Structure 1
């Protein structure tokens, strides 16, 4: 380990704290300041605004489905990448990181080209069944799933590598089937990685803007999520409502992180 002098160590700490303050803490604190500039009035007005309430409900529904889907497939793909060897494994691992490098707007456009009801590849056939993907909640859930896909996987894969498969092999040698091995051995070993992945996926899903805006059509009262309401309210000179809605999104995300941070040491101590 490289020894670092005390002045240099403090300088690096100050630089890191200054970077986080200017990039995260200061902007977020300004949103909170504007939200409560007149007490609780701005926040209460936002919570009684039908447009905001509807957007928050839609956001929670879309984010909830996206988190459930990404958790199920994320854990499954993680097990596939770590426990099995197959052709194309490296390609699959690389593709998982695509959502982190591709603009969400591009994702939304790609989904539009594939599932658009007029000239998409599958859109006309789907609409013949009376269902709609684009400009409806299924397309919004798909877009949100895409942008949050890697978060569960990148939390679970390192833990699976770390714990190895000795206990799983021992369980199988004693007659345990795959479901029993997963629920009794694998899942308890990776539960905190899954929890952190779920929290990160939820925070990412709640704050998604670009991809959802493309596939939703931003229809007020129908396909307008909370982030789209923030944009609409701010552009319509209703900044107070925009600040309050932003604060609610920030509050939910930070609350999830705080709850997990407090619960994990308690569980480990037990």
Structure 2
């Protein structure tokens, strides 16, 4: 039975990951290297990759800042009642339970041009939906739990004794954080950053709804892949998909290699 389950596990791994990845690689180079480079050097592809990179950078910075704060509040904030913490925990886990498409629709209904807040922002000259800010909010909604759920177990494991000792010795809040808390959670934060980047690169549903998929304006790499597939431009779609998959996989492999060199568990 043990050999049977191991064999089934490998079979599922091959069917769900290896074979589709091989198909993407072969499809990307179906027209040779020239076809692959031509697909990536299209003006719409370059713009989509630049837009994706900008969204990833902004979302990663915001997710790191607010994710660390939320994790510390949920674990260390004794002034918050258990009921409030339970509510906040539920809010943090909401993207896991709600489809990204639903999340994008919620943002459109809240900040779209037909909403009160959206109308206010547009009259102020600041467009949210069908523009870059809406894409950032949608991606942030999807990726927010990744950072929080990486840091919280580490904070719970290390306890608060060292931080309390630092406070007793006269260390201020920021000094305690940088010299006591940060060394303990830095690898969790780094891993959360890696997961955020990888997830942001592959986000599709929420961004598609919020951005409107406007070419050379609000189109990301994933929505361009979707458009290429719809237009039967399979080689170009496979090329972009290969770039995104390779970058995400490389991030995760580098992270695992760094953790092993640093003997991080």
Contact 1:113 1:121 in 2 (8 A): no
Q: 2:90 aligns with which of 94, 101, 105?
A: 94
Partner of 1:246: 241
Cα deviation, residue 58, structure 1: 0.1
Deviations 1:179-234 (Å, cap 9, x if unpaired)? 01111111110111111111111111111111111111111000010011101112
Cα distance in 2 for residues equivalent to 1:94 and 1:19: 32
Partner SS for 2:197: helix
Contact 2:31 2:235 in 1 (8 A): no
Partner SS for 2:116: coil
Contact 2:30 2:235 in 1 (8 A): no
Partner of 2:175: 180
Partner SS for 1:222: coil
Partner of 1:4: none
Partner SS for 2:262: helix
Give the length in aligned residue pairs. Answer: 261
Q: 2:76 aligns with which of 76, 83, 86?
A: 83
What runs of 5+ residues in structure 2 fail to find an aligned partner? none
**Is residue 2:13 matched to residue 1:58?**
no
**Is residue 2:224 matched to residue 1:229?**
yes
Cα distance in 1 for residues equivalent to 2:9 and 2:180: 39
Partner of 1:5: none
Q: 1:116 aligns with which of 109, 112, 116?
A: 112
Partner SS for 1:33: helix
- Matching of residues 1-270 of structure 1 within 5 Å: 8-85=1-78, 86-87=80-81, 88-117=84-113, 119-268=114-263
| Segment drifting more, 126-135 vs 259-268 | 259-268
| TM-score between the two structures when normalised by the length of structure 1 | 0.93
Cα distance in 2 for residues equivalent to 1:121 and 1:54: 31
Partner SS for 1:268: coil
Deviations 1:37-65 (Å, cap 9, x if unpaired)? 34422321122111101000000111111
Contact 1:217 1:223 in 2 (8 A): yes
- Greater relative contact order structure (CA < 8 Å, 6+ sep): 2
Deviations 1:66-93 (Å, cap 9, x if unpaired)? 1111111111100011112313111111
Cα distance in 1 for residues equivalent to 2:194 and 2:19: 23
Cα distance in 1 for residues equivalent to 2:144 and 2:249: 20
Cα distance in 2 for residues equivalent to 1:218 and 1:199: 26
